[in-house]
Chain A
């Protein structure tokens, strides 16, 4: 079993899997159960001036029979009294000294208010603090959450206030509801943050009930925009993560990755793109704390099979992320259909014919089956057919060697490189 222990900006946990600040970390009862089940850490449901929540606050997007591909919520921070939360944090920390408890915080944009809550959280035994600059609904209307996260100057100011008094590591949780995630991350770093967490939820209207035409989740017939999370947001999270991890100004800044992690494979992707710890919310809301067993087991097996350590995996794929202008334009691939495997569904034909480059030929054979074949001189290697093909390994994208040196757009436009000829097929 690979060593999964984790140290992010000085916050230590037996494994990199943390519960994100959300309903699963609402109470001491839950966090204790989660630690029993094997979770490495928990980011306590955001503390602040307790608020009041609406009745009905979640909406889900189901896709093709799969439930909760995306989840949205109009819930605010904790609605339990501050003192109760602090007491429970203290108790759980005492019972589980080796697990990480990170306390998420959000108060008014006043220096004294921040100083006060930081001290209270530390007194309760927090191993770290997470500043919630991300909540996209409700709190932002009151000048908190995303309202802070969207303005780098505010991020910097508040982080500085916190750092004035904090003695434990401070992570800044960023909102994805910005045009360029690098700016708030730079601001957090400039203010001395020990790391960043991302992403919080994305502004969303999850959908309508088309019978009543009321948006979801419905509060007495009305609704509000909410925060989107779950498997559907993972690509957005991965992109933002890699942007911060590759930005020269924030290079090396510890990152806690969040957004759509459901399985150990998702965790591998986050870690390979630069995350140190990984936070999970929706998957736990859907399936419970028990998923931790497979998260740890799967990650550990993956590392063992590759004789790799967790530290070696971390950030390993970052060097493969480049600007488009640096990609090789002379690398040529073509779709190849394995006729032995093809079941004749013709999906590749429909996709290529209507949605791509008319490079697949289809014919009804005498035995009634559909025969498809790629026209090599028309195929631009776009990949679409292999994405729609329902049979594993039936359409392979094979490399077509050519005599041309690699050539990027940058090289081509500066006159340094020569482009290989493109398909000239006439339709």
Chain B
């Protein structure tokens, strides 16, 4: 499978496969072009959805891509990774006609892929306005902010501690939606706007926060969340026990044969979308059995219904109302996961059922119990306020308690979607621009 650009995304990325011209035309022409369209309101970046769809219908492909990318610089990623069932497509009026909603995500991919993967420039960097902004982290939030500012004539430098930019979009999102090559191709294109990205550069280590305030007119912080913390049970240090995010990153950046799970039995701890991704990825890597161990009932799972369904179809075995109590090992390697059944007490609190221990025979255990916050880093920034759960406090424009520092994305929301991060980055950019203009 190729995207018509010479790039070949992995066969894992086939959750919502690309559309051919005929299918796209039929679909685009189904869109009613609603007045005050509800789908637009559900898109965090406010893409003019009927607008871009009607341009597909008239085969104005460049115009269609422009409508999308002007509103959302990571429109090609979002086309693949957005939970459209919950967002735009969920709001489509065709539901009320008892019809399938318009496949907005797939049409968005149809419109953006040729431009983004084909590396055709759509926008030019604006003439310099003499001002500069630094972005910390090169995830969707910073990229959204940087792209917006670059188009307004700012010199933008993005500092990223990882080897490649993109944050979780590059390293974290399961391959069946988004592959490594595509994520990076899209960012190449953001760079063409004039944004410079310095990878392998950690702010706080290689560059000090203070120096950013000195060298730039404003700073945007899009540092996202940290890895998954230990669950706090014995055996987590054993070989074969791993953070689910590291597992996903490993599989995205390595040849699939090197990370094969053929014949292995796997347990994933957690009930959120990360756990789902770990389940589907493990089973697609050939695992013999994949258990998803979750403390509560299915209804209480954080993962979207459509993703739960996907995990089930991929052969995931749901082990519900069960909590892990120990990872069992032999010669330093995982040989099993000991669990205990749970139930709710009178106050609705979870409690273990005495004497209900059981052991899952597994060789790998992946932790997907929620990402930690970057509290350590926030502590180094003078006067930065964050709440008890480690989320940075910011107003609706992304302004923090520190003058000259804006923020957005997962480090504020505690973990949402790529499209939300882009929207927040973009909103902060507008606020930065207004503030610096006003300062003139």
Binding site for B on A (CB under 8 A): 64-65, 343-347, 349-350, 362, 364, 368-370, 390-391
Contacts and interface: CB of A to CB of B under 8 A. Distances in A.
Given A347-B32, A368-B91, A370-B36, 13 more contacts: A64-B25, A64-B29, A65-B28, A65-B29, A65-B57, A343-B94, A343-B97, A344-B34, A344-B38, A345-B93, A347-B35, A364-B36, A368-B38
A346 B97 contact: no
B36 A343 contact: no
B96 interface: yes
Q: Which of B26, B28, B96 has the most CB of A within 10 A?
A: B96
Contacts of A343: 93-94, 96-97
Nearest to A368: B38
Contacts of A391: 97
Contacts of B91: 368
A368 B33 CA distance: 17
29 contacts: A65-B22, A65-B25, A65-B26, A65-B28, A65-B29, A65-B57, A343-B96, A343-B97, A344-B34, A344-B38, A344-B93, A344-B96, A345-B32, A345-B34, A345-B93, A346-B34, A346-B35, A346-B36, A347-B32, A347-B34, A362-B36, A364-B36, A368-B38, A368-B91, A369-B38, A370-B34, A370-B35, A370-B38, A390-B32
A323 to B, nearest CB: 37
B224 to A, nearest CB: 30
Contacts, number: 44
B41 A350 contact: no
Contact of B35 (A64, A65, A350, A390): A350
Interface string B241-254: 00000000000000
A370 B29 CA distance: 21
A349 B34 CA distance: 10
Contact of B97 (A65, A364, A390): A390
Interface string B203-247: 000000000000000000000000000000000000000000000
Interface of B: 22, 25-26, 28-29, 32-36, 38, 41, 57, 91, 93-94, 96-97
Q: Which of A64, A65, A364, A391 has the most CB of B within 10 A?
A: A65
A150 B29 CA distance: 40
A364 to B, nearest CB: 6
Nearest to A66: B29
Contacts of B35: 345-347, 349-350, 362, 370
A101 to B, nearest CB: 39
B116 to A, nearest CB: 23
B89 to A, nearest CB: 15
Q: Which of A64, A343, A344 has the most CB of B within 10 A?
A: A343
Q: Which of B28, B33, B36 has the most CB of A within 10 A?
A: B36
Contacts of B97: 343, 390-391
Given A64-B57, A369-B38, A390-B97, A347 B29 contact: no
Q: Which of B22, B28, B35 has the most CB of A within 10 A?
A: B35
A347 B96 contact: no
A350 B22 CA distance: 28
A347 B25 contact: no
Nearest to A64: B29
Contacts of A344: 34, 38, 93, 96
Contacts of B93: 343-345
Q: Which of A346, A364, A369 has the most CB of B within 10 A?
A: A346
B56 to A, nearest CB: 11
Contacts of A369: 38
A369 B25 CA distance: 27
A65 B57 CA distance: 8
Nearest to A388: B32
A364 B40 CA distance: 14
A368 B34 contact: no
A352 to B, nearest CB: 11
Nearest to B38: A368
Nearest to B34: A345
Which 7 residue pairs of A and B lie closest in terms of their CB atoms, listed nearest first?
A346-B35, A343-B96, A64-B29, A65-B26, A65-B25, A345-B34, A343-B93
Contacts of B36: 346, 362, 364, 370
Nearest to B22: A65
A102 B57 CA distance: 43
Nearest to A62: B25
Contacts of A345: 32, 34-35, 93
A62 to B, nearest CB: 8
Contacts of B29: 64-65
Contacts of B57: 64-65
A64 B26 CA distance: 7
Contacts of A64: 25, 29, 57
B314 to A, nearest CB: 33
B11 to A, nearest CB: 29
A65 B30 CA distance: 9
Contacts of B26: 65
Contacts of B34: 344-347, 370
A390 B35 CA distance: 13
Nearest to A347: B32
A345 B25 CA distance: 20
A221 B26 CA distance: 30
Contacts of B25: 64-65
B51 to A, nearest CB: 14
A368 B39 CA distance: 11
Nearest to A390: B32
Contacts of A364: 36
B22 to A, nearest CB: 8
B216 to A, nearest CB: 40
A41 to B, nearest CB: 35
Contacts of A370: 34-36, 38
Contacts of A347: 32-35
Nearest to B23: A65
A88 to B, nearest CB: 38
Contacts of B22: 65
B280 to A, nearest CB: 33
Contacts of B38: 344, 368-370
B353 to A, nearest CB: 42
B106 to A, nearest CB: 15
A344 B35 CA distance: 9
Nearest to A350: B35
Contacts of A346: 34-36
A391 B93 CA distance: 11
A195 to B, nearest CB: 41
A279 B93 CA distance: 41
B18 to A, nearest CB: 18
Nearest to A370: B36
B419 to A, nearest CB: 19
B436 to A, nearest CB: 35
Nearest to A348: B35
A53 to B, nearest CB: 29
Contacts of A390: 32, 97
A347 B35 CA distance: 6
Nearest to A349: B35
B252 to A, nearest CB: 36
